[in-house]
Structures are given as C-alpha cells and as structure tokens.
Amino acid sequence: MTEGKTLSIKEWSVDDRPREKLLLKGKATLSDAELIAIIIGSGSRNETAVELSKKILSTVSNNLNTLGKLGIADLKKHKGIGEAKAISIVAALELGRRRKDTDVEDTPKIQSSRDIFNEIQPLFADLIHEEFWTVLLNRSNKIIDKIKISQGGISGTITDIRLILKYAIERSASAIILCHNHPSGNLRPSDSDLSITEKIKESGKLMEINILDHLIVSDSKYLSFADEGLI
C-alpha cells in the first residue's frame, strides 16, 4: 500500500464498517459520525465517509442540534458533500426533529380477555374467512404489535408455530396472545385449536415466551382459553 493512502471503508475490518457494525452490534453502538456516514454513503477521494462525517461534526462542536440548523449550502462547503448528500443529511435530521416533537402513543395494557377482544375485534369484523393473528406484549403486558400469521378459508387456516415465535423474538416480546376467528359464529374450540395452542405454549417455554391466552372471536362475542381453563 502506498504511504499516506487512506483505506476505503470496504477495506476496514468488518466490525469497523458502520453498516456491518449496526447489523452485528445494534444501532446504539454507532457514534454520531458513523450514523452520518451511513446516510451519506461515501466520502471523498482522500477520506472515508466516517472521517468526512467527523470533520463535519467538528465544525459544529459535535452538536447535532447545531448541525440540524445548517442548510444545504452550508453542508456543501465540505469537500465530498454534494447536493444529494447534503439533502440526505438535512432530511435525516428533520425526521429526527419531527420524531422528538411527536407525542409517544401510550399503548394499551392488557389486563383481561375483554381488553384483548376490544383490541382485535376490528381486525375480524365482517370477515367471511378465517384468519390467525398473534398479539405481542412486553413485560408490562402492553401491546408491541399485532401480526397476521395466516389467512384461510371459511372453515380453517394453517398456523406456523415457527413464524409466530420468529416474530416474537424479533420484536423482543415477553408474551403472546393468540387470536383467530370463526366466521360461523360457533365459538367452541376444535380439537385442532386445542392441539395447536398446546404446541405453541410448549414451544414458547423453550424461548421463555409466555402464551397468555388464545381467543376465538366472532362479530360480537369471544371465547378465552384462559377464562375457560384451557391454557
């Protein structure tokens, strides 16, 4: 290697590359400069995207609020920052500002089968086919997400246990509530409903993910496995 030549990011150790570092270690491990480097994508001929980002930050005393006040023309003064990269930086910082200004929605806490029914009933309203959903909860029993696992016909749907647990692990859920509808209005669980619930419950134990309940719903009524002592 010629003396004085700057290594490109592709020549760095995998652990030191911003994108790879984010994937391997999580977004919180990246410095401000590394995050900006991901936004701009590349540096100049003589410096990497990270080095260029550090230089930009140094001009605002490493203060992101000050950086957010810079316009496109200000950013373009840095060699290696053209209009497209400047726009990307401005847009990213504006998104951050808007997120900060947005009120955090207070997600509902599930304390009873009625609470979960009120949350999921709109998902099944007027359906003429079966759908299977999973509701992911955190340690406080607040809803993280509601995910449709499968869609079937009038009398049944296929449930993939691996897919249910995959979503729970990816979203760091501590507990799951299973839900599906019976378009016929008959809320009595089938042998298949009982069997799949037990399989998911046992599989969840291996991952330390609790299956709190399984609801069968119709347009206006529901049956809770937990309330009926079936789980």
What are the residue ranges spanned by the domains of the chain? 9-101, 113-224
Mean pLDDT computed over 154-182:
86
The DSSP H or E segment spanning 149 is strand 143-151
Q: Mean pLDDT over all residues of the chain?
A: 86
Checking if the pLDDT of 3 tops 60, the result is no
Q: From the CB of residue 96, how many other CB atoms can be counted at a distance below 10 Å?
A: 13
Question: Rounded to whole angstroms, how far apart are CA atoms 231 and 65?
Answer: 52
Under CATH, what is the fold of the domain 113-224? Cytidine Deaminase; domain 2 (3.40.140)
Q: What mean pLDDT do residues 148-177 have?
A: 84
HSE toward the beta carbon, residue 44, CA cutoff 13 A: 15
Indicate if 113-224 has the same CATH topology as 9-101: no
Alpha helices, DSSP H, located in the chain? 18-25, 32-40, 49-58, 64-67, 72-75, 83-101, 113-124, 161-170, 191-206
**Which of 166, 108, 112, 117 is CA-nearest to residue 137?**
108
Mean pLDDT of the 144-165 span: 80
Tell me the pLDDT tens digit for each residue of 170-197. Answer: 989 999 999 999 988 899 999 999 999 9
Summarised one tens digit per residue, pLDDT across range 38-71 is 999 888 778 889 999 999 999 999 999 899 889 9
Q: Are 79 and 44 in contact (CB under 8 A)?
A: yes
Number of H helices, E strands in the chain: 9, 5
Residue 102 has pLDDT above 80, yes or no: no
| 9-101 has CATH 3.40.50 classification | no
Tokens read off for 15:
């652990």
